[in-house]
Amino acid sequence: MPSKPAKALETFPNPAPVRDYRIHMEIPEFTCLCPKTGQPDFATLILDYVPDKLCVELKSLKLYIWSFRNEGAFHEDVTNRILGDLVAATCPRFMRLTARFFVRGGIFTTVVAQHAKAGWKISALPELESDTPSRSVR
């Protein structure tokens, strides 16, 4: 049976809940529609989070991200909605979503939204080589 888009985000228990560690994901094929013109908008989503008790399951995340393909959404709205849904599903200690939209009308847009659990102190998290990806023009 072929996969299809879905809004459900599945989780699994954090295998190391006593430790702060960063999970880093890059999602280079995000698409949604411009709510003004109906034209497609393309973005790379960069998700960094420190899980608490739950982690997001990757296949469900892929299908969730796919569900935006035919939705009209402003960049700021869709970034904050995705972050809100991920936070609601996983209740992380910390989560940051960076959405790097490709050029449209000569303008690149990057939206960064983040969440920190009440009382959790942000510690220095290990940097990854891919934290500063190069931007290409489509």
Identify the active-site residue in 20, 32, 41, 48.
41
The residue type of 53 is K
32 an active-site residue? no
Respond yes or no: is residue 77 known to be catalytic. Answer: no
In the set 20, 34, 52, 91, the catalytic residue is 34
Structure tokens, 134: 């190069």
91 φ, ψ (degrees, to nearest 5): 45, 55
Q: Which active-site residues does the annotation give?
A: 34, 41
